């Protein structure tokens, strides 16, 4: 499981010109599920991402989590994070999980983030999404668990 996490002032997702999700301050999580991901991978990613201390405290240090700041999360499934670019110039997506296993994992990730007290929205799995964001910092973290 791979994630690109961006600290944002706000973010939104539109499909076919219609906004389907929108958050204020928090994190945009681009989430890629690989074929061999397990429940343990999912649990570890939720635990790490939800506790990631990437928000500023009173001393301007990155010391607070999204929950600490009462922030929100927007999760966007992105199979292209599973790309293998070692050979040639055309990415291979052979390691990406099939939609029938990846989609439930993304839904479960969102469910667990909400359960952890972080208001979380998500994009449309498999949709042609347009993602807008204002990266705060900029702060971008890559998690590969």
List 25, 38, 55, 80, catalytic entry: 80
Would strands 2-15 and 18-23 be described as parallel, antiparallel, or unpaired? antiparallel
**Active-site entry in 55, 79, 109, 113:** 79
Question: What contacts 18, CB < 8 A, 6 or more positions away?
Answer: none
Catalytic annotation on 78? yes
> Which DSSP category does 34 fall into?
B
Cβ–Cβ < 8 Å for 28, 133:
yes
The torsion defined by the Cα of 62, 47, 120 and 130, in degrees rounded to 10, comes to 80
| pTM reported for the whole predicted model | 0.96
CA of 67: how far to CAs of 10, 46, 116, in Å? 16, 13, 8
Residues 88-114: b if buried by 16+ CB within 10 A, e if exposed: eeeeeeeebbeeeebeebbeebbebbe
Q: Tens digit of pLDDT for each residue in 52-103? A: 999 999 999 999 999 999 999 999 999 999 999 999 999 999 999 999 999 9
Residue % of the chain over a pLDDT of 90: 99
Tell me whether residue 25 is one of the annotated catalytic residues. Answer: no
Catalytic site residue from 78, 120, 121, 122: 78
Domains of the chain, each with CATH number or no CATH: 2-144 (3.50.80.10)
- The reported pLDDT for the residue numbered 145 is 86
Whether the Cβ atoms of residue 15 and residue 127 lie closer than 8 Å to each other: yes
Question: Residue 63: what pLDDT?
Answer: 98
Q: Which of 64, 28, 41, 46 shows the shortest CA–CA distance to 110? A: 46
Contact 19, 82 (CB under 8 A): no
């Amino acid at each position: 499981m791979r994630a690109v996490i961006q600290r944002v002032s706000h973010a939104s997702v539109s499909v076919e010109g219609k906004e389907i999700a929108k958050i204020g301050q928090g994190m945009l999580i681009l989430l890629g599920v690989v074929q061999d991901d397990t429940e343990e991978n999912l649990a570890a990613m939720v635990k790490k991402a939800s506790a990631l201390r990437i928000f500023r405290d009173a001393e301007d240090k990155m010391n607070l989590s999204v929950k600490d700041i009462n922030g929100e999360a927007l999760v966007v499934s992105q199979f292209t994070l599973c790309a293998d670019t070692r050979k040639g110039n055309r990415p291979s997506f052979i390691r990406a999980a099939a939609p029938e296993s990846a989609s439930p994992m993304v839904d479960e990730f969102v469910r667990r983030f909400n359960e952890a007290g972080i208001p979380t929205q998500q994009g449309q799995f498999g949709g042609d999404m347009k993602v807008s964001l204002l990266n705060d910092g900029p702060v971008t973290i890559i998690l590969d668990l």
